[in-house]
Structure 1
Amino acid sequence: MIAIIAAPPTALWHFRSAYLPDHLPSMSEVAEWLTSEDTGQVFLLLLVGAGFVAWLQLVIAIALEAVARLRGATVPRLPGFAWAHRIAAALVLCVLTGTAAEAAEPTGDGTPSTHVVIPGDSLTKIAAGELGSAARYQEIYDLNRGARQPDGRSLQNPGLLRPGWVLRLPHDSDCEEVVVRPGQTLTQIAREQLSDARRYREIFDLNRERPQPTGHRLDDPDAIHPGDVLRIPRPPKPAAGGGGAPSAAVFVRGPESCQTTEPPAPPPVPVQPPKPPDVRTPAPLSTAMTPAVEDGSSIALTSVGGVLAAGLLTLLAVRLRRAQRRRRPGYRIRPREPGPLEQALHAAAQPATVGDLDLALRTFAGHHKGDLPRLRAVKIDSEGIRLQLTEASEPSEPFVESGPAEWKLNPSASLDGDDVPPPYPALVSLGHTMNRDLVLIDLREAGVVTLAGGRDAIEAVVLAMAWDLAAAPWAARTRVTLVAVGRMSAERHPGRIRYAAGWDEAIAGLEPQPNRPQVLLSAIPLSEDVTQRLLQCGPDAVVAAHHPDVLLPGAWCLDVRGPRTAVEDLGVDVELQRLSPEQLDELVAALADADDPVEVVADEYRNVPPEESGVPEPLAARGPTVSVRPRPLTPAAPSLLLLGPVRLVGADPQAVEGKKLNRLTELAASLSLDPGVTADEISRRLGTDAQPWSAATRQGYISRLRTWLGRDENDELYVPNVDARHGGYRMAGSFTSDWQAFRDLAQRGLAERECVVEHLQEALELVRGTPFANVPPGRYAWSSWLQREMLDAIVDVAHTLADACQKAGDLVAARRATMRGLLAEPLSELLYRDLLRIEYRAGNHTGVRETADKLTVLAVSLDVELDEETTALVGVLLARRP
């Protein structure tokens, strides 16, 4: 490849005298050349110019291909560069795979068994297709974890593969693979690799319809392209000592079996009574995002899409937030370790994309005139959001036409549909394509979907659909009924999911309501009688197990037994979204913990008083009894401000590059709040689990922070060098933060049952807003538990100070304390109840009503229910005038 890039310009410059004049021609000389008889020099110059342009196109194509391969991104296609793109793809793939094959070559006499990753590959797909069982993905992961790849990276996350990587496979293979080079044919490859050109048909049969790195599927033995990766039966190993001639193709892989097999036809699924729910013991889960396959193995964690992941995380967050609002003063919610499912949800969640899709559809419904077009599917890929319609229609904002009956979201469009009802409330995630594009379908358009396969596989798909609908923002008014499956799911989320033991109960419970779609999801098949009854009561959509004897014209039929499912109505293969029994157990347990959390006493806040009960006695307001000297917010020495928008003060922000300021501030916060943190922990926190900081990046930022902050008044570094005494990275003791000062003041103020008001007031003066208020999405994720502790501590201090000031008759100071606490935690019903009592004691009936109205508006805007205690107090205080 280096020769292709360097040789042509070198040769052109070396032989320039053959086609270029030895001096700069004048305009008259140029005119004479163009008007006189050509001696061949002008033609040669034009020929060289055309060659130079072609060489430049090839170099550009190679550069684009190499960068895209290394980044795992889609290769941009330039107009007029098609020939160059094809050659570049073959050259780059050969270089990458050849380099990796050399690095992975064993020391013995065996041929390495490896696999080149192509777009859309996953460990389970590789294991299922090449080792015969998706359950063997762990063997591939263990064999390749940490091994350096052609792009310099290594496999660290089983859910993240990059095109061009070369993975070693277990040495039990019957096949190898070759990379097709320019000019090769199947006959030539068969002759070179199998010593028999007539065996080209075997190669074609093994690779028929197999996706290729060049973007096509092999469906013609005469249509192979440079860069294609073809399976080749492995030649028998010599009995002793022999050696074959070197091959013209590059060996890169060897799957376990080279026999092509057709999937068996779906077995008949008899109509049977619903199976009673069984109690399963949660098993240890793997964090890999892998599909469930019915081959006798049990794969714990299955594929979850971004919509379901974001929805479930939001649901958990709402439940936990409600629990935090209801905790008792001086107590803390016992933290819960996230399980494998929750970790996988964080990796797969796409909250921004889900929000964009919801708002885009609402915006479209608000702008569209007339009947809404029928939506068949939605595809979310790296290029954005696409709608696939049943028939061509004129697009409306914010969508533009991108193909026949296809619209694409205009990324620059304004999304203003917040108050518009969702137009497609039965949109549900189906799964991922081979390129990891998420596919959603409109169940109301599909009408009836049947699932062919075993009971366990059907349940996994049905439960994923149920929770997807229960968590999606556009399906808030959709009523989901689970038939003969998912009782625990319905009990844990009754507002969106209903359980029915069988079809009779499900049909009897149907309550058609305007703008409230009814969707039935079942693990048992439909019968003729049930089908007729459903036609009469008219639910919007039904998903059920397949029955070969029940004729359902127009129904979609999906085979759920394998790792991928052909969706004929969309013309794509999809890795269906599933929730395994282990995942469901973890989800239900997490929701149960959030609904009924365990509270433990917080030692530092042991003397926080309990909430007052009963109707407060009126009290004449008095003036302030204590004056508080505000602490300076910008100290001379470097310090962190965390109780509000995050800032690093006391250091010159002009001394560092603007784009590095936020990262350096986060690094300082991490070292300050968690002293002794290891190098690997820093890399994961400041990077991601999938792409942590490299050692060079980490050391560069630490060194830059050390230089920026400098030394304290004792000539000690604010960022000390790591040694045995320190035992990890940390900030010097002279580096302070407002959170540290708050804790010190709160501890002194709460040391005795009779609190020291001055210390608590000084602590609250440090609060400027919600802790970490200005951090961008995806940053400071490591501090979420600490943010929760800060909020709880601020609420406890504000409540304690308000209680002490009320007892002292200083209602002005009490009011100021609650307002300062609400500045940090605007959802604290405890502080709102304190404020209601303060206004009532002051005889401010208008203030009581305004506080109650503000609390009600806040609850409605956040879609949360007020505590019974809050509602009762508001009712009592409004009914009485002090």
Structure 2
Amino acid sequence: MPIGTLTLGLSALTCTGLLAELGRRRRRAQRARQPGQRLRRPTTATTARLEGQLRVANAVLTVTALRTALHQLTEHCHRTNRPLPDLEMIRIAPAGATLYFATDEPDAPAPFAAADARTWTLASTRRSDSEDPAPCRHVGAQIEDPVDPYPALVALGVTEGAMVLVNLEAAGTLRIVGTARESEQILHAMTVELGTSELCRSVQLDIAGCPPEIVDPLESGRARLTEPAAGHRWIEARQRDIGALFDQAGHPGMLHARAAHVLDDTWAPAVLIDAAPSVGAVSASQTETRPAVPMAPYRGACLITTRPGTGEAAGEWTLCEDRSSWRLDPPGIEIEPQRLELTHAARLADLVDVVIEDGPVLPAPPPVRPGGADTDDDDAASDNPSQPGTASSASLDLDALTSVPVTTGPHSGQSILEAEPANEERSVNDGPDDGVLRDSATGPRILLLGPVEIIGAIDDAPAGRRRRATELIAYLALRPGASQHQLDEALWPGVRVSRGTRNPLVSRARAWLGNAPDGQPYVAMLGEGQEYRLHPEVSCDWHDFCALARRGLAAGIGGADDLEAALNLVRGRPFLGVNPAAYGWAEPDAQDMISAIVNVAHALAEAALDLGDHRRARWAAARGITAEPIAEVLYRDAIRAAHAAGDDQDAAKLLESLRRGIGELDPDDDIDEQTFAMTIDTITRTANASAT
């Protein structure tokens, strides 16, 4: 999706922020999830499609690259002892970004280039398979402790094929003036972006007058609800206090302070979202409460409101409705604002509501039936969306896990297996040959438990076409029997797909995989059932993982080798490194895979510990952690194994690694109580060892 378009009425940055928040909530849930639990899949097809549509608009590459370039700008200003330029607005288009300043700034440091005295450009570097332009071709080395020079950049909407970001600090006040319904929707969209966007991570956000559907999707801890009067008192006091600090320090202002790396407690801007009350819902606390002191630029506080102005405030920015268009002043540009309707907001709130439910997930490998070859032309297929075909999660075989206790108790592994201790000569990084089940299939192999790869295909397709064909093949591996409608919804969410788009991709994937020894293509031709399938000789590491884990858990004595073989198929997080704008359909599958991997790793680690095999336990925990780096239950297994091996220093390092990972996800969070108890034990053991 081009970055200068709106998706579901939202800017690409809002879509990116919502996906980032969804990812954070899923990781928190995976960290808290206990063996015997899983993350609930989307409850409706509409919710599942919604995530796919957001992913198509994902601009995470743009956000990351733009932040990096702006960090470079701050560092340059710090080194050269100059203030930050007074940035008003940024336009991001497929060709790159354009920055607009309030004063002359002719000297543009790399990676920027001066277009004129008040305009800089930033060239894009576009991946061939992405509409995300990723500005910043020549950004330098990563800065160890970067400073965000403009931490209140928010997208207003789009114009002339570009996304428009405004610097709220430069505006001080942004007043939205239009019909009540339209103005409210614009305010709601900006609120969601401010509460989820990486560009606004340090913003202190207060919200007055927005409904729960708008607040629910926001990142925890980034926003608080308030009454309008209290919110206005807060930003007025904030502006007054920061002004006093600058005066006492003899400092010119915020742009100088950030560049000089001083008065850093003043850098985080406070933003008040003040929604005008709905007709008939006015209370005493919702009456006009415009602050006595207007919000001045770069004084630590900003206001976005739909309340009508008094005409007395000079310098504030306005987004005004003019018949069928909207105009942003003072830049003086027409813009199509982003909007968020309450019905869409409710669906977004449902999407990011990540629920942990009972029931370990270990799907059976989906049944593969040879597709018919009645026709050589994909065009002959029907577009009937009612054809059956999703088999990946519709038929779950949970007997293997539900019949075997998988708990967190210190001795629960005894009921799973009683394997003999592993050979002491074996390295903890070694695992059994990952080809336990591969001998039964001679065709291409699909790898999903890590970076997505296709092994054994004809390697003459261009890289860009391979990526798209790889996604199609991965989809069919997990959705055998998919109909054309299901394929279209997965690979082109929210887009009406023609045969001229779908069929060439299927044909390219078919040509890339080639034919089986029986002469049939590995991407089977459509038969009478009008279903897309892969040839039975095509294998998949996820299917093998399930078969090995099921066999190992059911085997009792001697099952450890199969569990270890299953874990040895894991190369990282499932679907690691895929294009963020693609594979939206696969995220529920990835969460199921992560849950299953952690469950199996925990089961093997506990069983090995009960049998005195600390080396196997450490290997199992480490393998599971590659799929979910902050799976706390696996860290506890690894710490127990380190203690069993007498390596208390390693146990301490593991605790520090876990705390660091939790801090990166949630700076205000820490290890849970069970792990904390192990921390006390580790500290005591380390202290005793040092004393002796």
Match of 1:439 in 2: 164
Q: Which structure has the larger Rg?
A: 1
Question: Aligned in 2, Cα 1:821/1:880: closer, same or farther, shift over 3 Å?
Answer: same
**Structure 2 Cα separation of the partners of residues 698 and 756 of structure 1:** 45
**Structure 2 Cα separation of the partners of residues 862 and 494 of structure 1:** 11
**Structure 1 Cα separation of the partners of residues 462 and 18 of structure 2:** 38
Of 723, 727, 736, 2:539 maps to 736
Q: CA deviation at 1:760?
A: 1.1
Query: Where in structure 2 are the equivalents of 1:355-366 lying within 5 Å?
Result: 355-366=64-75
Match of 1:316 in 2: 22
Task: Give the AA of the match of 1:386.
Answer: T
Question: Aligned in 2, Cα 1:481/1:647: closer, same or farther, shift over 3 Å?
Answer: closer
> Are positions 1:335 and 2:96 aligned together?
no
Q: Deviations over 1:707-766 (max 9, x none)?
A: 853224x66554433323x65121222322222221111111223777822221222222
Secondary structure of 1:770's partner? coil
Match of 1:15 in 2: none
RMSD: 3.7
* Residue identity (%): 27
Q: CA deviation at 1:791?
A: 1.9
> Are positions 1:450 and 2:246 aligned together?
no
Match of 1:720 in 2: 524
Of 494, 504, 518, 2:270 maps to 518
Match of 1:497 in 2: 223
Q: Is the 8 A contact 2:549 2:600 kept in 1?
A: yes
Q: Is the 8 A contact 1:306 1:354 kept in 2?
A: no
Secondary structure of 2:595's partner? helix
**Structure 1 Cα separation of the partners of residues 325 and 670 of structure 2:** 45
Unaligned runs of 5+ in 1: 1-71, 74-119, 123-158, 160-288, 290-300
Task: Give the AA of the match of 1:605.
Answer: L
**Structure 1 Cα separation of the partners of residues 463 and 185 of structure 2:** 48
**Structure 1 Cα separation of the partners of residues 211 and 609 of structure 2:** 51
Q: Is the 8 A contact 2:449 2:573 kept in 1?
A: yes
**Structure 1 Cα separation of the partners of residues 53 and 506 of structure 2:** 29
> Are positions 1:640 and 2:446 aligned together?
yes
Q: CA deviation at 1:371?
A: 0.8
Aligned residues: 578
Q: CA deviation at 1:814?
A: 1.3
Unaligned runs of 5+ in 2: 125-136, 242-264, 278-285, 362-397, 414-419
Match of 2:459 in 1: 653
Match of 2:110 in 1: 397
Match of 2:189 in 1: 464
Task: Give the AA of the match of 1:598.
Answer: E
Task: Give the AA of the match of 2:338.
Answer: Q
Question: Aligned in 2, Cα 1:866/1:541: closer, same or farther, shift over 3 Å?
Answer: same
Task: Give the AA of the match of 2:684.
Answer: R
Question: Aligned in 2, Cα 1:839/1:392: closer, same or farther, shift over 3 Å?
Answer: same
Match of 2:357 in 1: 598
Question: Aligned in 2, Cα 1:562/1:678: closer, same or farther, shift over 3 Å?
Answer: same
- Judge which range, 498-507 or 833-842, deviates more: 498-507
**Structure 2 Cα separation of the partners of residues 651 and 552 of structure 1:** 66
Task: Give the AA of the match of 2:204.
Answer: R
Q: CA deviation at 1:588?
A: 3.4
**Structure 2 Cα separation of the partners of residues 533 and 880 of structure 1:** 57
**Structure 1 Cα separation of the partners of residues 347 and 475 of structure 2:** 30
Match of 1:92 in 2: none
Match of 1:555 in 2: 316
Question: Aligned in 2, Cα 1:848/1:378: closer, same or farther, shift over 3 Å?
Answer: same
**Structure 2 Cα separation of the partners of residues 677 and 349 of structure 1:** 26
**Structure 1 Cα separation of the partners of residues 496 and 335 of structure 2:** 26
**Structure 2 Cα separation of the partners of residues 868 and 387 of structure 1:** 45
Match of 2:205 in 1: 480
Question: Aligned in 2, Cα 1:613/1:562: closer, same or farther, shift over 3 Å?
Answer: farther
> Are positions 1:758 and 2:557 aligned together?
no
Task: Give the AA of the match of 1:836.
Answer: I
Secondary structure of 2:359's partner? strand
Q: CA deviation at 1:423?
A: 0.4
Task: Give the AA of the match of 2:524.
Answer: P
Of 613, 616, 620, 1:813 maps to 616
- Judge which range, 657-666 or 372-381, deviates more: 657-666
Secondary structure of 1:758's partner? helix
Query: Where in structure 2 are the equivalents of 1:26-65 lying within 5 Å?
Result: none
Task: Give the AA of the match of 2:407.
Answer: P
**Structure 2 Cα separation of the partners of residues 529 and 735 of structure 1:** 67
Secondary structure of 2:266's partner? coil
Secondary structure of 1:880's partner? helix
Match of 1:406 in 2: 119
Q: Is the 8 A contact 1:481 1:497 kept in 2?
A: yes
Of 493, 514, 521, 1:709 maps to 514
Match of 1:879 in 2: 683
> Are positions 1:379 and 2:91 aligned together?
yes
Secondary structure of 1:423's partner? coil
Secondary structure of 1:729's partner? coil
- Judge which range, 518-527 or 637-646, deviates more: 518-527
Q: Is the 8 A contact 2:85 2:101 kept in 1?
A: yes
Secondary structure of 2:454's partner? strand
Match of 1:567 in 2: 328
Q: Is the 8 A contact 2:89 2:165 kept in 1?
A: yes
Q: CA deviation at 1:823?
A: 2.6
Identify which of structures 1 and 2 has the higher relative contact order when contacts are C-alpha pairs closer than 8 Å and 6+ apart. 2
Q: CA deviation at 1:845?
A: 1.0
> Are positions 1:838 and 2:641 aligned together?
yes
Q: Is the 8 A contact 1:798 1:820 kept in 2?
A: yes
Task: Give the AA of the match of 1:406.
Answer: T
Secondary structure of 1:471's partner? coil
> Are positions 1:587 and 2:348 aligned together?
yes
Task: Give the AA of the match of 1:467.
Answer: V
Task: Give the AA of the match of 1:645.
Answer: P
Q: CA deviation at 1:424?
A: 0.7
Q: Deviations over 1:118-138 (max 9, x none)?
A: xx9x9xxxxxxxxxxxxxxxx
Q: CA deviation at 1:571?
A: 1.7
Task: Give the AA of the match of 1:723.
Answer: G
Q: Is the 8 A contact 1:376 1:442 kept in 2?
A: yes
Q: Is the 8 A contact 2:55 2:580 kept in 1?
A: no
Match of 2:246 in 1: none
Q: Is the 8 A contact 1:466 1:497 kept in 2?
A: no
Match of 2:372 in 1: none
Secondary structure of 2:554's partner? coil
